[in-house]
Amino acid sequence: HNPRWYDLMLELEKLTGNGVSLNTSLNRRGEPMICSPTDALNMFYGSDLQYLIMEDILVVKEGKGWYDGV
């Protein structure tokens, strides 16, 4: 039992009706896996992603609210 993940799943379920999260390697097709916060931010801002969570930090692209119908 991991309280941090359990709490995250409960909050996702409250917001979206689905308490599901997909955990996979972070990289774009044909590129190496992300290994640092700087790499993650560079990939995030060069992608169509709207949100990025790193540890306890939520990064939201400009023009998006913290919750725009996730």
- pLDDT, tens only, 5-39: 889 889 889 988 887 877 788 888 899 999 999 99
What pLDDT score does 67 carry? 60
Residues 6+ apart with CB under 8 A from 15: 67, 70
In this predicted structure, the answer to whether residue 49 has a pLDDT above a threshold of 70 is: yes
For the entire predicted model, the pTM comes to 0.64
* CA–CA distance, 40 with 4 (Å, rounded to integer): 21
Distance of CA 41 to the CA centre of its chain: 11
Backbone angles phi, psi at 54, to 5 degrees: -125, 110
User: Which residue intervals of the chain are DSSP H helices?
Assistant: 3-16, 37-45
Which DSSP state fits 51? E
